[in-house]
Structure 1
Amino acid sequence: MTFREFMQENGYELQTTFWEDFSIADRFGLTAILDTFNRAFKEWKEDYKFLTELTLVLNHKIWQYYENRPDMAALYNTLWEQADQYAKENLKENELSYYWEVTD
């Protein structure tokens, strides 16, 4: 099952290309993953729905690599923690409710 199919099965319709963007970066290594995160986070952190989806993708990437590529899983975990912390500190009211509902 693809990430898109998994999300649809759980009632979530993807709104971004974050999964594809990070999947491309995966092929080029840790620096590319970090660069992709930095660009996506800078551009979209103020959009609560895109920020939510970014954290979903990062979380799934941790699980994708935790057995076979612990270095990648560790980087994705660090990036997820950064995005998750930002969301918790900056989203308010309905935006934070949306974040919790979708990521729960």
Structure 2
Amino acid sequence: MRRLAASVLALALLVLSAAPALGAVDQGKLNEIKALTQQMYSIKAQIIDKEVEAGILDQTKAEKIKKMMQERQQKIEQDIDKGEFHGFGHKKGGGHKHSNAQRPE
């Protein structure tokens, strides 16, 4: 299970690194990213369920985590549908944005 999750994450990172930093965003590639993030979300949810089964995590905490993951996944999908991708996390001050919007020079 962990190897699959690691493989999906590695593939997602390869796709992201292949995208050009400047210029028009390839909507086809964004759709590939969207599909990969959906797979990653599904695998992460399965891992949370297995942690509950193993007694590592209690059900209440697991539901809270999965709810936050689902909200984040929805935000990623909405951004991709708008032609944007903001990465996987909310890092203060270091974020990047890929979109069709005009960049200031």
TM-score normalised by structure 2 residue count: 0.36
Question: 1 or 2 for the larger relative contact order (CA 8 Å, sep ≥6)?
Answer: 2
Greater percentage in helix:
1
